[in-house]
Amino acid sequence: MAKKIYAFILTVLSVIVPLSATAGLQPEQVTITTDRDVYIAGDWVYFSIKVSDQGEHVSDYLYLTLSNDHQNRIFTGCLKITNKAAFGSFYLADTLTTGLYQLVSYTNNMRNFGPGAFAINNIMIVNKFDSDVLAKIPESASQKSDTTFQKDLIKQNFDLQVKLNKKVFSQREQVKLDIQLPEYISNALLSVSVRMAAPVSISETRLNTKDLSSHSCYYLPERSGVILEGLIKDQNNAYVAHTRVFLSCEDSIANLQFTETNNNGEFRFFLNPYYFGKNAMIKVDGENKNSIEIMPKYFDGIIGHLPLHIHGDIKSFLETNKKYLDIQRSYNQIYREEKTNDEVVACWRPELYTEAAEVVIPAEYQYLQDFREISRELLTYYKIREKHNDFVGSIIDVNQGVFSFPYIFLDGILLEHVRQIMYLDSKKIRSIVSIPNARLLGNLTIPGILDIASASSEIETIQWQSSIAKLKIESLMPNSFYQVPEIAKIPRNIPAYWPLLYWNPLIKTDSKRAVSASFYTSDCTGIFEVIIKGFSADGEEIEYRDLFDVASLRK
């Protein structure tokens, strides 16, 4: 029964990942919001990504890239969408050069529509060792001097009502923020950032997604897992069609998926969360020199231009923020916290058997110097013999009474030949499982299984005759929060310099359409801004910006 169920699962998966699909898809609408627009290299970027429901093709996973203006990728990550949103943070290496950078986010389905459908957010990163910042700004960024930096409402839409308990605050004083949405907006997804206002504005790259259309679905929506795509080519660089491709994952038990290339040499595998963070290997059936190319998932380059407008004394602003970051490091002030997720992810491991016919633990017996000796002395069903200066291993099918060549697995990975493991002695093997009968995996007949678990990751030392693709399946980015300590617990003689006062990546409004927040100012003084961004229930963007002052306590 277990074999039939597993074959059924693979049959279902083969249906959901064809290489062509129906037309008429609509792209998901995605926006990115960051906690700030200007960063010092060595700091953290906090971001929020929200997805507007466009019907049945809503993905479960998002991709994120950060690139500089030279179109070099600096960071990539994959996130799980929960309640139509995802959020997290990533570190900016202190070696990054000063310039304008671009965050791009998209789902696999959105790739059908090209970069015009992707979400884009432009930011500025400054290296603290650059003495002349403006000289480091790329020529592609337009600079415009404007000394009129408004201290009142800058932008508002949707008739949002945002109230602060004061317009001028003291250091370490409580701030109360109330947001009221109009009656025609409900179930909105918002992010709120309260930060020191930078005397710059980096125009967002906005593209009209309403006119986008796709007549194909090559890149499928990713639900309950991600899709791995690749190509098989021969030694003449020609596509290899209709050849079987295997995927196995490093584990303590044999596991296997298989598929077949199409006319263009393409293949796909569905990877549920079981694979995340694990080492995997892809190989072609048989021993040959066909090459395996894994198709990249991440976007290269930037979209549009990165325009920068300077409204004031950017040099002083950056010098102040550099000082604040140094103080935070000196006092080991860390504001980032990761969310622990105790939820057990529902996923299946593509194991090939549930009950073992024979399990042998070599350490329980006298030491044997190689696998030939082990098979001869300890294995009932599997035997090795020499043939034409090589080794041949076969297993007897106890049901049919005939010998066949079983699939051999080491640390969960499918091998190509028994010669690869002839060097293994009793000390290097933890256990050996023999399955001496044929098993069905979809339309694949496996003539017996030999599953070997090594004592110390021997799969990493295996030599291969044919082409293989080793890869690390990406782990998902964790949800992380910006959490400053309680200001009342910090003595006055300890500096509390944080230019970011409050960051909430995801707020879902209720039927009352009201949101409240409370936080404290720090020892930082100057102009601060409240930024609210998000989606209404019908997919319309919400954006609001307001300013307030924080004055020094010193007279």
Q: What is the pLDDT of residues 204-258, one digit of tens each?
A: 665 555 556 665 778 988 999 999 999 999 999 999 999 999 999 999 999 999 9
Q: How far apart are CA 290 and CA 283, in angstroms?
A: 9
Co-location of 363 and 455 in the same domain: yes
pLDDT band with cut points at 50, 70 and 90 for residue 6: very low
Backbone angles phi, psi at 41, to 5 degrees: -55, 130
Distant-in-sequence, close-in-space partners of 404: CB < 8 Å, separation ≥ 6: 394, 395, 397, 438, 447, 448
Whole-number pLDDT of residue 158 = 58
Average pLDDT, the chain: 86
Same domain? For 313 and 329 the reply is: yes
286: CATH: 2.60.40
The type of residue at 374 is I
* Same domain (yes/no): 245, 149: no
Residues 425, 278 share a domain: no
Q: What is the pTM of this model?
A: 0.89
Q: Are residues 322 and 189 part of one domain?
A: yes
Together in a domain, 411 and 516:
no
Nearest by Cα to 177 from 158, 156, 192: 192
Q: Is 345 part of any domain?
A: no
The model's pLDDT over 170-190, given as tens digits with 9 standing for 90+, comes to 999 999 999 888 877 777 889
pLDDT tens-digit map of 359-396: 999 999 999 999 999 999 999 999 999 888 889 999 99
Least confident of 133-142, 221-230, 341-350: 133-142
Among 400, 430, 462, the domain boundary falls at 462
Read off the pLDDT of each residue in 58-83 and give the average, rounded to a whole number. Answer: 93
Helix (H, G, I), strand (E, B) or coil at 14: helix
User: Mean pLDDT throughout 66-71?
Assistant: 92
The pLDDT tens digits for 407-441 are 999 999 999 999 999 999 999 999 999 999 899 99
Q: Please name the amino acid found at residue 3.
A: K
- Asked if residue 397 and residue 317 are part of one domain, the reply reads no
Q: Give the Cβ contact number of residue 372 at 10 Å.
A: 18
- The answer to whether 501 and 525 have CB atoms below 8 angstroms apart is no
SS3 content of the chain, % helix, strand, coil (to 5): 15, 40, 50
Is residue 473 a part of any domain in this protein?
no
* Domain annotation covers residue 8: yes
Q: How confident is the model at residue 2 (pLDDT cuts 50, 70, 90)?
A: very low
- Structural domain boundaries, residue 400: 358-462
In this structure, what is the dihedral angle of CA atoms 425, 427, 429, 430, given to the nearest 10 degrees?
160
Question: Three-state SS for 13?
Answer: helix
Residue 57, pLDDT above cutoff 90: no
- CB-CB contact of 528 with 195 (8 Å): yes
Q: Confirm whether 350 is domain-assigned.
A: no
How many domains would you assign to the chain? 3
Instruction: Report the pLDDT value the prediction gives residue 218, as an integer from 0 to 100.
Output: 87
Domain check: are 97 and 190 in the same one? yes
**Are 107 and 148 within one domain?**
yes
Read off the CATH number of the domain in which 452 is found.
Answer: 2.170.130
Given a contact cutoff of 8 angstroms between Cβ atoms, the answer to whether 451 and 382 are in contact is: no
Residue 411 backbone class (left: φ over 0; alpha: ψ -120 to 50; beta: rest): left
Higher pLDDT, 154 or 254: 254
Rounded CA separation 425/454 (Å)? 10
417 within a domain of the structure (yes/no): yes
- CA torsion sign, 295 to 300 to 304 to 310? positive
Q: Quick check: helix, strand or coil at residue 492? A: coil
Q: Say whether both 271 and 420 belong to one domain.
A: no
Are residues 313 and 395 located together in one domain of the fold? no
pLDDT band at 356 (very low <50, low <70, confident <90, very high): confident
Task: Look at 267 and 305; give whichever has higher pLDDT.
Answer: 267
Q: Among 294, 311, 327, where does a domain finish? A: 294
Q: Are 244 and 317 found together in one domain?
A: no
Q: Does 88 map to a domain? A: yes
